[in-house]
Amino acid sequence: KDVQKEREPHVCLSKEEVKEKIQSYNSSVTDKLKMTLNANGIYTGFIKVQMELCRPITVQSSQSQGRCAHSNNETAFYLPDGCVNTLHISSNNTVREVIEALLKKFFVADNPAKFALYKRCHKEDQVYTCKLSDRERPLYLRLVAGPRTEMLSFVLREHETGEVMWEAFSIPELQNFLRILDKEENDQLQILKNRYADYRDKLEEALRGVLKPG
């Protein structure tokens, strides 16, 4: 269930409160991805982000897996479903910085403004997904929620269709997307043609059996 609700207020924690929460967090960690509190009060840790991208991304690499179309030194391809990436960030890093770091890690050339980071959480036996604002700090949310991803997880998506910033796309990107769509359309058309040809063969075979003398 996707919902747009007011973001939860960021509570200013004292250094002692942060220390206690980090100790509690680390005692519950099962994957060794613990948080560290520095002397200056800034803490660092890890977050996992699931990639749920419906549209192709453009990478600056000539070797990419999956369906692809080439344009100069860039490649547009679909990221595999369910891909999860782990980032090491600090409590000062914002949502916008996390998105930029994710794209850099994947060598994605697309404009970061095309993407949004969501938080997914379970409440009252339902799953809620809420888009985070650019200024929110994911590591703080992770610390407050604890290490259990079923309580809170992060998801990277494109902006909704009505929110797409088309001016952020370059002409080569749009041309790549059109080529991919043309290929998918032709593939689907061929599948339909093959399916109906198979049906036609079976009907003709059945008719021959019915009309056969004797």
Res 1: pLDDT: 46
Domain of 205? 169-211
Q: What is the CATH number of the domain that holds 62?
A: 3.10.20.90
Contact 46, 149 (CB under 8 A): no
- Give the tens place of pLDDT for each residue, 118-140: 998 877 777 888 889 888 999 99
Res 160: pLDDT: 63
Res 110: pLDDT: 81
182 with 146, same domain: the answer is no
How far does the chain reach from its first CA to its final CA, in angstroms? 62
Within-domain flag for 9 = no
- The structural domain count of the chain equals 2
Res 113: pLDDT: 83
188 with 112, same domain: the answer is no
103 with 202, same domain: the answer is no
34 with 97, same domain: the answer is yes
What's CA 165's distance to the chain center, in Å?
17
82 with 131, same domain: the answer is yes
130 with 59, same domain: the answer is yes
Spans of the chain below 70 pLDDT: 1-11, 61-74, 76, 160-169, 212-214
Res 100: pLDDT: 93
Tell if the pTM clears 0.75, that is, is over it: no
DSSP state for residue 80 in the 8-state scheme: P
Helices (H), the chain: 15-28, 95-105, 138-145, 171-211
Res 119: pLDDT: 92
**Pair of tokens at residue 9:** 């207020």
Own/partner long-range contacts of 144-150 (Cβ < 8 Å, ≥24 apart): 144/11, 144/21, 145/121, 146/24, 146/25, 146/28, 147/25, 147/28, 147/29, 147/30, 147/31, 147/33, 148/28, 149/48, 150/122
157 with 188, same domain: the answer is no
